Amino acid sequence: MRLAFSLTPQSTSPLREAIAFAGLTIALTWLFWLPGAFLPGALGDMLLGIGSFAPLAVAIFLDVWLQKNTLKPATWTKTISVRGVAVAFVTPFFVLMPILLLRFNQGTLDVGKFLGDARAMWFSLLVLGVLAFAEEIGWRAYLLPRLQTRPLYMTNLVVGALWFVWQLPLVFAGRFNESENFRAFFIAMFLYALLITPFLNRVARRADFNPILSAVLRAGLQFAVAIYFLQGRADPLTDTFGSATIIWLVILNVILFSQLWQGKKPPAEITELERVMPLQVGD
């Protein structure tokens, strides 16, 4: 936190701003999440909800403190496309598809009940959307642009690791834990944070660091996981953060990296001008 207050408009840099954001966000979030994650009932949920607004509050504070206007919310609606919304909306179900299919084949997943629970909890989706949007403004609209000059794999690893540390109170409180083995659950959550971050970063970067699309993806994923929990306990393979999901995310990351991040090799007849100034800059 001391670093944030040592920042001035004259001494700032993207890296220093990123470090300040991460430190302040984790500290402020934990102030509410550490008690909230362990308290039952409405009080605990209220503290968790307040803590979710920490990334938004820190991003606004740093923007005002450094006399900058980097968030630019007026541009967010201009960078949204139907295709982008569709990708953000479908990705959560695509991520959970292997365990849904496995449970269905095992006869332990009632599709009718799954859809019925989803309809009954529609208001929860709205709440999750608001909280996800507040969080994503900080992580994807403020932090991510400050790391854009770094190698893409490094950016994803750093953001994923910080995002995991940020959620540690929820992990230690056993939220989202279906496993009886805490060590396995801890490792699975760490891997999950690293492996889902590239998709959140991807949709945000494709829309000029727009947090709306990553918020749609985050809220949809959290909602789908919450509905899945209502279907009864799963085995270690079909747990929401179990081995099937982790292996599937590894496969998806390999595909995403090889096909999208690295891009295609330039054709042999490419001109020198196109080589120096490519018409389509990869992200």
Q: Quick: pLDDT tens for 209-264.
A: 999 999 999 999 999 988 988 888 777 788 888 889 999 999 998 887 776 544 44
* Residue 222 forms part of a structural domain: yes
* Residue 63 forms part of a structural domain: no
Q: Quick: pLDDT tens for 164-212.
A: 999 999 988 876 665 667 888 899 999 999 999 999 999 999 899 999 9
Q: Taking a C-beta distance cutoff of 8 angstroms, is the pair 255, 261 a contact?
A: no
* Residue 71 forms part of a structural domain: no
Q: Quick: pLDDT tens for 32-73.
A: 999 998 888 889 999 999 999 999 999 999 999 988 888 888
Task: Please name which of 146, 202, 159 lies closest in space to residue 26, comparing C-alpha atoms.
Answer: 159
* Residue 29 forms part of a structural domain: no
pLDDT at 260: 55
* Residue 53 forms part of a structural domain: no
Which residue is listed with tokens 């900058």? 68
Task: Please name which of 263, 276, 237 lies closest in space to residue 103, comparing C-alpha atoms.
Answer: 237
Helix (H, G, I), strand (E, B), or coil: what is residue 249?
A: helix
Q: Which domain holds residue 92?
A: 77-262
Number of structural domains in the chain? 1
Output the pTM of the full model.
0.85
* Residue 224 forms part of a structural domain: yes
* Residue 230 forms part of a structural domain: yes
Q: SS3 sequence, 150-170?
A: CCHHHHHHHHHHHHHHHCHHH
Q: Taking a C-beta distance cutoff of 8 angstroms, is the pair 48, 36 a contact?
A: yes
* Residue 111 forms part of a structural domain: yes
